[in-house]
Amino acid sequence: MRVALLSLMSCGSCAENLEIVCQSEGHELVWSSLRDDGEVPDVDVLFVDGAVDFADADARERLERAVSSADVVVSLGSCAATGGFERHAIGMREPARYHFTVFPAAKFADTDYAIIGCPPTEDAIASFLEALEEGDDDRLEPYRVLSGDFHGLDPNLPSPVRGPEATVEDVLLTSNKDLCLGCDLDVVERELFCTGCGACAASCPAWAIEIDEKPEIREDRCIRCGTCFATCPRSFRA
Amino acid sequence: MRGLLRKILGKKDRRDGKMKLDPELVGEYRGAYLARATEERFREAGQDGGTVTALLAHALEEGYIEAAVVSTTGSDPWRPRPTVATSVEELLEAAGSKYSISPNLSALETAVGSHDSVAVVGTPCQVSAVRKLESHAYGVADVAERVKLLIGLFCSENLTYKGLTELLEKEIEADLSSVERMDITAGKFTVVTSDGEERSVSVSELRRYANEACGFCTDLTAEDADVSVGSTGAPDGWNVVLVRTGRGERILQSAVDAEVLEVRDVDEGDPATLERLASDKRERAESARCAVWRPYPTSP
Ligand SMILES: Cc1cc2nc3c(=O)[nH]c(=O)nc-3n(C[C@H](O)[C@H](O)[C@H](O)COP(=O)(O)OP(=O)(O)OC[C@H]3O[C@@H](n4cnc5c(N)ncnc54)[C@H](O)[C@@H]3O)c2cc1C
Ligand code: SF4
């Protein structure tokens, strides 16, 4: 596939993983804001990584222009999708507070898909690109739902959630999206749905989850990247 | 032995034209057997026939895997602790079922981070979680590539450690530290204490002490595993083994060829009981779902 990358306020790990995947899987990274100037050329998919300071008019304009020229736009990594590290640990201060002017790129642009992760593993990026290339809508569904603009969602559900196998949309609606994709410092509802498998603790990039039987989240380390929630076998079905 | 497995493996797994065990109830499988470890030390340390531990030890010694994620005992009596075992001694140490939550996957990142090939043992929910990590690798790399063997335990429910302690106090009147052996068989939760006494309660009593989340679980036999191992449906000291994938079949075949495991036809056990338990679990989940029907979440 022909791929472009717009890298905003970020650490660069997502961009690096994307480059590795493009090389190993035979996708062509035709344009990257890290090395190319000018406008985004005609590509199959534009990845946006990083967050945006809303006072930074220049960044917002670059984002807007890039997005308007692409057919498929993907938030690459949690900074772009949820604000992640950039919003919650900016300047390396305690993540418990957040930087109220920094937002995920997805807040300012319509994105079609999001790949959660800090950074998303090469496997996740490769598997997404494969699904996109094949036009496999079932496999793309979680990426589509995770890309929604959650900030304005009505927390009152149209229908109650009855069990762990709720559709990905319903489950996402139950969480506090302004801070994270999970259930506001609870990966999934602890008593009712959590089986105690430990996948969340293994996936957490910030070492913020301790698990003895059920996960305990250390708020002072959590960067609200949503990786635990997206990984949890009971957030949505694989 | 080679001949026997071939005879059993080769025989169409059909009874009156049907599969021996209904795949609707126990998931898709390629073969169903009774099995146990040939070596005494595995049978001794293992919960039932020691099949899981012997199979892992064989996989380790033959170089199929470098390490295995299993659950050993932690600081408190019977408190499980996930660990990465790299030797037969460590596997033996971790053998035996602990009837409370052991978040085995919390050790998975360490395992795949430092070893090229690993096995994972887990309850059915943990097995499914590994499959999700394979297809949705947001946070843990290399699971699909490095997990070479996924062994699932049959599981009717799991308890919290607190629940287990209370269950023993209230229903069995025993203290965890005096318990030598625990087992779930024939619809009973049985405990043998250090004075040699055996006490039991019906498994239906377990519900109150179990992890509430288990109430939603429909999977008794770890349907996503490469190899599933349990005891329901097997005679004392034996396991029921369901082989579900090609790689599971290869490893089992190799263990049988090496006379690490002995196998028999599953019909020599009691497949009907296993089917009944599997079906009960599906129904139970359906009613749990109706019972918790409630608006969620409450407005912030
Ligand atoms: C909570 C629980 C409930 C079970 N319920 C049933 C049941 O209803 N019916 C049935 O037929 N079988 C059940 N089993 C499985 C059964 O107890 C045996 O584990 C199985 O028959 C394999 O026997 P084995 O002799 O091969 O095991 P072993 O050789 O002793 O190997 C058992 C393996 O399981 C691991 N393990 C132990 N405890 C846990 C735990 N809590 N979580 C994850 N891994 C663990 C050990 O580290 C070891 O690697 C249950 C097991 C558990 C842990
Ligand atoms: S991954 Fe989900 S089910 Fe497993 S321990 Fe974490 S919250 Fe619980």
pLDDT at residue B141 tops 60: yes
The stretch A165-191 carries a mean pLDDT of 58
Residue B63 shares a structural domain with residue B152 = yes
Residue B100 shares a structural domain with residue B163 = no
The stretch B284-300 carries a mean pLDDT of 57
Decide: B232 in ligand 1 pocket, CB within 6 A: yes
C-beta atoms of B108 and A193 within 8 A: no
pLDDT (0 to 100) of residue B186: 72
Band of pLDDT at residue B71, cut at 50, 70 and 90 = very high
A106-148 pLDDT, tens digit per residue, is 888 889 999 999 999 999 999 999 999 999 998 998 898 788 6
Ligand 1 atom index nearest CA of B91: 49
Structural domain total, chain A: 2
Return the CATH number at B178. 3.10.450.750
Return the CATH number at A223. 3.30.70.20
Residues 69-108 of B with CB under 8 A from A: 82, 100-108
pLDDT at residue A83 tops 70: yes
Ligand 1 atom index nearest CA of B233: 11
B244-263 pLDDT, tens digit per residue, is 999 999 999 999 999 999 99
B166-222 pLDDT, tens digit per residue, is 999 999 888 999 999 999 877 789 999 999 999 999 988 898 899 988 988 899 999
Q: What ipTM score was computed for the predicted complex, to two decimals?
A: 0.89
Residue A49 shares a structural domain with residue A89 = yes
Residue A9 shares a structural domain with residue A120 = yes
Structural domain total, chain B: 2
Report which of residues B177 and A179 the model is more confident about.
B177
The stretch B147-158 carries a mean pLDDT of 96
pLDDT at residue B295 tops 60: no
Does B3 fall in a domain?
Answer: no
Q: Which of residues A95, A126, A147 is at a domain's end?
A: A147
* Best residue among B25, B41, B47, B282 to mutate for probing ligand 1, ranked by most atoms within 8 Å of CB: B47
Instruction: Give yes or no for a contact between A93 and A62, defined as CB atoms under 8 angstroms apart.
Output: no
C-alpha A205 – ligand 2 centre gap (Å): 15
Q: Which of residues B189, B210, B231 is at a domain's end?
A: B210
CB of A214 less than 8 A from some CB of B: yes
Q: Which of residues B210, B229, B249 is at a domain's end?
A: B210
CB of B122 less than 8 A from some CB of A: yes
Instruction: Give yes or no for a contact between A72 and A46, defined as CB atoms under 8 angstroms apart.
Output: yes
Provide, rounded to the nearest whole percent, the portion of chain A with pLDDT above 90.
51
B220-255 b/e with 16+ CB inside 10 Å = b? bbbbbbbbbbbbbbbbeebbbbbbbbeebbebbbbb
Structural domain harbouring B118 = 28-158+216-290
pLDDT (0 to 100) of residue A149: 56
Structural domain harbouring A224 = 176-231
- Phi, then psi, of B145 in degrees rounded to 5: -80, -35
Q: Which of residues B210, B225, B250 is at a domain's end?
A: B210
CB of A234 less than 8 A from some CB of B: yes
CB of A205 less than 8 A from some CB of B: yes
pLDDT (0 to 100) of residue B289: 67
Question: What span, in angstroms and rounded, lies between the C-alpha atoms of A94 and A98?
Answer: 8
C-beta atoms of B216 and A233 within 8 A: no
Band of pLDDT at residue B1, cut at 50, 70 and 90 = very low
